[in-house]
Structure 1
Amino acid sequence: MGGRRWTEQEKEILISMNNEGYNYAEIAKKLGRSLYACQQMGEKLGLRGDRNVNDEFFSKETEEKYYVLGYWLADGCIMKKSGGYYFSLVSNDKDHLEKIAEIMGVKTKIYKNSNSAYELRVGNKRLVESLINIGCSFRKTKTITINDISFDKKYFYMLLRGFFDGDGGYVFQGFTKKDGTKGLSSIKFTGSENMIKSIYEYLGYGTLHKDTRKSDCYYLSFYGDEMRELLHKMYRNSTIHLERKYEIYKQALL
């Protein structure tokens, strides 16, 4: 490591603050050192990463893990920049990101990005490495498929629910019923050709459509009994979901 030599007192402060739950940005400010230098020394000393998230979140087999993983496959990324590793989720639903942040133990703030959407971003090397260990990658947009992810089949519909909440939607009938509501005509998943085709092949049913408005983008649609069966498998007994989509499911199909 370059820069000035670390004193034993600085190392003790670093260890103490890390154990007390301070993140490396706060430690760097306290010591007057760069974020990268503190992260490197922390790794050399065998310390845990920033306590700004439960960095074991993706290492345990839970409904929450697979739901967030599916949501990440739709609307997330992982990055390595300025010597740090970052996990990111983007959504127009701030309340939902706050719910995800809570179950992940995220302590960083949610903010608006340059596209006026909300972003949950947390810098934590261990969290990012745990995602990479189950098949996720830094540049996933047009390459990753459902087959690249390691998961037990019993969690598939939890993962799919997360993906649907991120990049899926309901299609309503064109007419209004007497009670003022509209019935569902179909649901659809949207994403890259590789991802959508891999979901189609995994399920073994559905209808594929190419999105002519965007290059390398496909729809996977479900109608009638197939739609109802798939929604029940995704949402029935779920404990985490996007509320507005879950409410449509309840009103239309329960």
Structure 2
Amino acid sequence: MKPLNKVKIEWSPKFAYAIGLIVTDGNLSGDGRHISFTSKDYDLAFLYKECLELDNIVGKKSRVAGAEKIYSIVQFGDVSFYKFLLSIGLTPNKSKTIGKLKVPRKYFYHFLRGCFDGDGNINEFKHRESQHTQLRVRFFSASKKFVDWLRGNTIKNGIKGYYGSVGKKKSVYVLEFAKADSIKLLNLIYKENCGIFLERKYLVAKKYLLAWRNWYTRLP
């Protein structure tokens, strides 16, 4: 029987998805033991707990003392899992320092789906002149090294994103994909997804799945 609140360290679609969530919304404490995950989206926190097969409840917290508790949080201690996260490239206070991670290629797009559900979005808008629907898939990170690493992995499938920066101090980097590449990327992110995804984002993406067949491009 698996000990309470202990994570089975074995790569799988669910495990890779959870690692993606930790990268975007997780935190490694400085004590070498505790890992926390915080999100405004309760469903995402529940998915995280489910993927790691945790028995913890999903708690509630606020960013400021006395304020409404609108954030969902899952926190637990596991020294072995903590050390594993360090071994693949995660660190405490990782936001600006994270770079290349040791994620098996086989599970990269499951991992990326976790990143997408955590800190990505789909932007739909009308072209000013043609009024045709335009599409952009975007990932956000405070680390340019991490954005570069993500881009290097999608390029291996012929999907060429480009990046810029946003915010008052241009301190947040954005990896963005144009329409054709966004469609190809969504098809890889949701391919054989084992039902593990944030439903509200999937419902937006769903209309574009298999839409690449209508383009002159093809998935490698």
Q: Structure 1 length normalisation: TM-score?
A: 0.69
Secondary structure of the corresponding residue to residue 159 of structure 1: helix
Of the three residues 174, 179, 197, the one matched with 1:219 is 174
Q: Which residue of 1 aligns with 2:164?
A: 209
Work out whether residues 55 and 124 of structure 1, in 8 Å CA contact, stay in contact via their aligned partners in 2: yes
CA distance in 2, matches of 1:237, 1:206: 23
Q: Which residue of 2 aligns with 1:123?
A: 77
Partner AA of 1:245 in structure 2: K
Q: Which residue of 2 aligns with 1:244?
A: 200
Partner AA of 1:117 in structure 2: Y
Q: Which residue of 2 aligns with 1:133?
A: 87
Secondary structure of the corresponding residue to residue 60 of structure 1: coil
Deviation, structure 1 residue 229: 0.5
Aligned pair count reads 194
CA distance in 2, matches of 1:86, 1:62: 22
Secondary structure of the corresponding residue to residue 107 of structure 1: coil
CA distance in 2, matches of 1:157, 1:233: 6
Deviation, structure 1 residue 189: 0.6
Of the three residues 234, 241, 251, the one matched with 2:189 is 234
CA distance in 1, matches of 2:50, 2:152: 34
Q: Which residue of 1 aligns with 2:35?
A: 87
Deviations 1:166-212 (A, max 9, x none): 0000111148xxxxxx9452111111222212212332311211114
Larger relative contact order, structure 1 or 2 (CA cutoff 8 Å, min sep 6): 2
Residues 70/214 of structure 1: CA separation in 2 closer, same or farther (3 Å cut): farther
Deviation, structure 1 residue 246: 1.0
- Does residue 190 in structure 1 map to residue 136 in structure 2? no
- Does residue 77 in structure 1 map to residue 27 in structure 2? yes
- 1:126-165 aligned within 5 A: 126-145=80-99, 147=100, 149-165=101-117
Q: Structure 2 length normalisation: TM-score?
A: 0.79
* Greater mean alpha carbon deviation, residues 155-164 or residues 93-102: 93-102
| Structure 1 vs Structure 2 CA RMSD | 2.2
Q: Which residue of 1 aligns with 2:56?
A: 108
Work out whether residues 184 and 252 of structure 1, in 8 Å CA contact, stay in contact via their aligned partners in 2: no
CA distance in 1, matches of 2:136, 2:58: 33
Structure 1 regions of 5+ residues with no counterpart? 1-18, 22-50, 176-181
Deviations 1:63-105 (A, max 9, x none): 1111111111111111134xx7211111121122113212322
Structure 2 regions of 5+ residues with no counterpart? 64-69, 211-220
Deviation, structure 1 residue 218: 0.8
Q: Which residue of 2 aligns with 1:97?
A: 45
Q: Which residue of 2 aligns with 1:48?
A: none
CA distance in 1, matches of 2:34, 2:199: 27
Structure of higher CA gyration radius = 1
Work out whether residues 112 and 119 of structure 1, in 8 Å CA contact, stay in contact via their aligned partners in 2: yes
CA distance in 1, matches of 2:18, 2:121: 17
Partner AA of 1:129 in structure 2: K
CA distance in 2, matches of 1:113, 1:191: 23
